[in-house]
Structure 1
Amino acid sequence: MDLNINNETARLRAVVLGTAESTGGIPEVSKAYDPKSIEHIKAGTYPKEEDMINEIASVATVLEKYDVKVYRPKVIENYNQIFARDIAFVIEDKFITANILPDREQEIQAISHVMDQIPSNNIIELPENAHIEGGDVMPFGDYILVGTYTGHDYKDYITARTNVHAVNALREIFPRKQVVPFNLKKSNTEARENALHLDCCFQQVGKDKAIIYKEGFLDEKEYKWLVNLFGSKNIFEITQDEMYHMYSNVFSIAEDVVISERNFSRLNKWLRKNNITVEEVPYAEIAKQEGLLRCSTLPLIRD
């Protein structure tokens, strides 16, 4: 397999799509990894497996419509494998495995059939102290944009998934690219105050557009850097409520095609106004786990 990923919006040719088969039911609060899941566990509104299977199937249908090669993880019984983006990511022709939460280590083994098609020298495992998840990593041409948390209390946040060691490791692997870190707001208890990954508060769409949530960034200068990069007229600013519902976590099949949640009416209208075809799917149940469309996809090849 000839991997090729240099941005978020070039025409998609191959992707890993997560699975909701045998997720293990409703977890205990102590086993949940994010405040939004905890919120729904306590409220009795945690998503049902059947609903999540149907939601992911709707995405698979759209991908097949656009002739995208779709790989699926092998199903591990009673194990949540929805969020394929967490476990690895591709930049250029390199497949980088994430050092994720220890309870989730089996997930990478479930896509071994995909990794077997990749030359071994293109598979990179980061140093043990470099914590990273794919939701925090966005290739953008000459840049690699990385969500992180640099506070001294990093270890106290289960929602802090990418550290400064990982940022430095990416700089060593890709010396010709500019790795730009963004310090994100974290909370273990309040979903509306938590940017779990960079793609929970920012994402490129189209050729030169971006979705952004200002309050997800701890440093306003870093938010302004992004606004300057894209230009204020090309920015779609989302509210806290829209961030909570994961508006920035849509997924691009091409510069002019985006898969979006069907309830994102304000965003979907803006995308269409900017000549982007919007493929609407139901994904509100999966969103209850603080992840959406980008989180459940791992792109392998784009044009």
Structure 2
Amino acid sequence: MLFNNAIVRKPAHSVINGIDDYADLGKPDYSKAIQEHESYVSLLTKLGIKVTILDALEDYPDSCFVEDPAVVTDEFAVITNPTRSSRTKEREKIRPTIEKFYQEDRIFEIKEPGHLEGGDVMSVGKTFYIGLSARTNQEGIDQFTEIADKFGQEVIAVPVNEFLHLKTGTTYMGNNKLLVAGEYIDSPYFKKFEQLRVPEKENYAVNCINTGNGVIMPAGFPAVKEMLTQHGFKTHEINMSEFSKIDGGLTCLSLRFNA
């Protein structure tokens, strides 16, 4: 197992009004979103993960994407500072749950004028690759770097031009293997990794979760599934149709850590 705990939040009815800066696929269907989220939780549980399920927040349409207002590691947690004003207060809503798992001196915050979202943070060993994106600025990265340094970990900033977040374009799968799409194919930032190149028409499937007990991937992407299988990963597919409509991926829906 690569992690044994996950935190998720139920989608609210307001999820139909979630932010859509990229997908342009129409509004989500709430009933389907609930079904997909339940399947997500069920699969995590089946794969041996203890899942903490938080109540829906009707005032925050994107709050089911718990990965953005916090970053969790085995040693510390960071309450981030989302860029979009509609998401800023999500940080206050996630903190009480983080405090149940981390001691006070292991919880940090990104403060103004810094902005950072968890979807831009990819952890590989003792290195954090952090996307410099429309949602994460240099000040946010600098603050995170100071935090990581306290624990002997380094930060590498990576420009994000084509995608919403860094992990919308690349995901670390373990064993030095990195799923890459678009601008990150043959990127000098990731030259030390074995790159698993995702075909353009299946870019959405670059965002997967390796639990260490199987890879969770979005359903309907046969080329990526075949590639993962060829590289020795057992895959589990789930439908993500409604969350994809509001720029959400698999990793967005949970905070994953060991506790």
Superposed pair shares fold, TM > 0.5: yes
C-alpha distance in structure 2 between counterparts of 1:112 and 1:181, whole Å: 25
Residue 177 of structure 1: how far off its partner (Å) = 2.1
The superposition leaves residues 229-251 of structure 1 with CA deviations (integer Å, 9 ceiling, x where unpaired) of: 11xxx3121233322xx211111
Q: State how 1:1-303 maps to structure 2 within 5 Å.
A: 11-23=2-14, 25-26=16-17, 32-36=19-23, 39-40=24-25, 45-80=26-61, 81-100=63-82, 101-117=84-100, 118-149=102-133, 160-175=134-149, 176-185=152-161, 194-215=162-183, 223-226=187-190, 228-230=191-193, 234-243=194-203, 246-254=204-212, 257-301=214-258
Q: Which one-letter code corresponds to 1:108 in the other structure?
A: R
Give ranges in structure 1 of 5+ residues lacking alignment: 1-9, 150-159, 186-193
C-alpha contact (below 8 Å) 1:148/1:163 kept by paired residues: yes
- Among all aligned residue pairs of Structure 1 and Structure 2, give the percentage whose two residues are the same amino acid: 23
For 2:34 and 2:12, locate their aligned partners in 1 and report how far apart those are by CA, in whole Å. Answer: 7
Give the whole-Å Cα distance in 2 for the aligned partners of 1:280 and 1:24: 22
TM-score calculated relative to the size of structure 2: 0.90
The change in CA–CA distance for 1:173 and 1:26 in structure 2 (over 3 A counts) is: closer
Alpha carbons 1:22, 1:78 under 8 Å: kept: no
Q: CA deviation at 1:147?
A: 0.6
Separation in 1, partners of 2:53, 2:231? 32
Equivalent position of 1:189 in the other structure: none
Between the aligned partners of 1:225 and 1:104, the Cα distance in structure 2 is 29
- 2:73 and 2:223 mapped to 1: Cα distance? 31
TM-score by length of 1: 0.77
Matching residue's letter, 2:192: L
> Retained in 2: the 8 A contact 1:89–1:98?
yes
Amino acid at match of 2:115: H
Code of the aligned partner of 1:249: N
User: Quick check: 278-287 or 170-179, which moved more?
Assistant: 170-179
Helix, strand or coil at the partner of 2:116: coil
Instruction: Provide the rounded CA distance (Å) in 2 between the counterparts of 1:24 and 1:209.
Output: 33
Give 5+ residue unaligned stretches, structure 2.
none
Decide whether the 8 Å contact of 1:136 with 1:162 is kept in 2: yes
Residues 225, 112 of structure 1: alpha-carbon distance in 2 compared, 3 angstrom cutoff: closer
Q: In 1, distance between residues paired with 2:111 and 2:13?
A: 31
Equivalent residues of 1:75, 1:110 under 8 A apart? no
Query: Contact (CA 8 Å) 1:13, 1:68: kept in 2 or not?
Result: yes
**274-283 or 72-81: bigger deviation:** 72-81
Question: Does structure 1 retain, via aligned residues, the 8 Å contact 2:79–2:95?
Answer: no
Deviations 1:236-280 (CA, angstroms, capped at 9, x unpaired): 21233322xx211111211x5110112011111111112211111
Distance 2:192 2:125 in 1: 12
Q: Which amino acid aligns with 1:280?
A: E
**Which contiguous aligned blocks of 4+ residues in structure 1 show a shift greater than 4 angstroms?**
none
Determine which structure has more spread, i.e. the larger CA radius of gyration.
1
- Contact 1:25 1:78 (8 Å CA) reproduced: no
Q: What letter is aligned with 1:56?
A: H
Q: Distance in 2 between matches of 1:76 and 1:214?
A: 34
- The aligned amino acid for 1:171 is T
Q: Secondary structure at the match of 1:267?
A: helix
Q: 1:285 to 1:93 in 2, by over 3 A?
A: same
Q: Distance in 2 between matches of 1:248 and 1:164?
A: 25
| 1:141 Cα deviation after fit | 1.0
Deviation of the 1:24 alpha carbon:
5.1
Aligned-residue CA RMSD (Å): 2.0
